[in-house]
């Protein structure tokens, strides 16, 4: 009789474990990889000290390097080419949009090298060319909700902030070494936040 009760207990415990694992794997499956490609559109809310406006980023290429166009409500287009060298090991990013034909400054994406260092908690880079964020702390891995193709999806991001905290700058980057897309950025004079993606 005791053996039967023990068997039932084990069976119930295993059943509960299977249910828990199924829920965990289902939740994990709901965290999508952003399948950006040529023609994908990303809408960001850009904020400065005095103006809030939408900026649409239109992806041209992701592989072998990132290039894109952007436009504001005034229909001013820019063309940005993230050079292969910058994509692999760039040391600068910018929270302000301007044309960069040389591909020396990253917009919206950090470099793969910076992504790797961020995971080790020792990233150092220049923001906007002058404001330095030296010694970035990985403040954790979090989930953010983004509208993808009209549906709210949960994505996994790395939260990064200044080790000293003096600049007040911080950002969230997609936890994907092949697509280190900046989802949100906050600086002393503004920042931007991704609102919607059409893949």
Asked if omega into 64 is within 30° of 0 (cis), the reply is yes
Range of the domain at 7: 1-30
Are 24 and 51 found together in one domain?
A: no
Are 116 and 21 found together in one domain?
A: no
Note the pTM of the prediction, 2 decimals: 0.76
Report the number of distinct structural domains present in the chain: 2
Alpha-carbon distances of 156 from 24, 51, 192, rounded to whole Å = 15, 29, 18
35 in a domain, yes or no?
no
Are 46 and 102 found together in one domain?
A: yes
Neighbours of 32 (CB within 10 A): 16
167 in a domain, yes or no?
yes
Are 73 and 124 found together in one domain?
A: yes
Are 99 and 144 found together in one domain?
A: yes
136 in a domain, yes or no?
yes
Determine the Cα–Cα distance for residues 74 and 76; give it in Å rounded to an integer.
6
**Residue-level pLDDT at 26:** 38
36 in a domain, yes or no?
no
Determine the Cα–Cα distance for residues 92 and 82; give it in Å rounded to an integer.
11
Are 86 and 180 found together in one domain?
A: yes
Are 158 and 60 found together in one domain?
A: yes
Residues 81 and 100: beta-carbon distance below 8 Å: yes
What is the mean predicted confidence (pLDDT) over 52-74? 82
Are 193 and 109 found together in one domain?
A: yes
Are 165 and 192 found together in one domain?
A: yes
> How confident is the model over 31-60, as pLDDT tens digits?
457 888 899 999 999 887 777 888 898 888
């Amino acid at each position: 009789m005791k053996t039967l009760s023990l068997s039932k207990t084990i069976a119930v415990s295993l059943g509960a474990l299977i249910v828990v694992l199924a829920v965990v794997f289902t939740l994990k499956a709901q965290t999508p990889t952003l399948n950006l490609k040529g023609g994908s559109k990303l809408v960001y809310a850009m904020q400065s000290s005095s103006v809030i406006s939408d900026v649409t980023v239109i992806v041209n290429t992701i592989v072998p390097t990132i290039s894109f166009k952007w436009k504001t409500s005034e229909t001013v287009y820019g063309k940005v080419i993230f050079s292969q060298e910058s994509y692999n090991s760039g040391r600068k990013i910018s929270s302000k949009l301007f044309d960069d034909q040389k591909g020396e400054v990253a917009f919206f994406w950090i470099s793969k090298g910076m992504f790797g260092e961020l995971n080790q908690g020792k990233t150092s880079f220049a923001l906007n060319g002058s404001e330095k964020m030296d010694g970035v702390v990985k403040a954790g891995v979090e989930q953010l909700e983004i509208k993808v193709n009209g549906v709210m999806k949960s994505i996994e991001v790395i939260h990064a902030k200044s080790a000293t905290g003096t600049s007040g700058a911080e950002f969230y980057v997609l936890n994907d070494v092949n697509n280190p897309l900046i989802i949100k950025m906050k600086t002393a004079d503004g920042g931007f936040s991704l609102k919607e993606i059409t893949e």
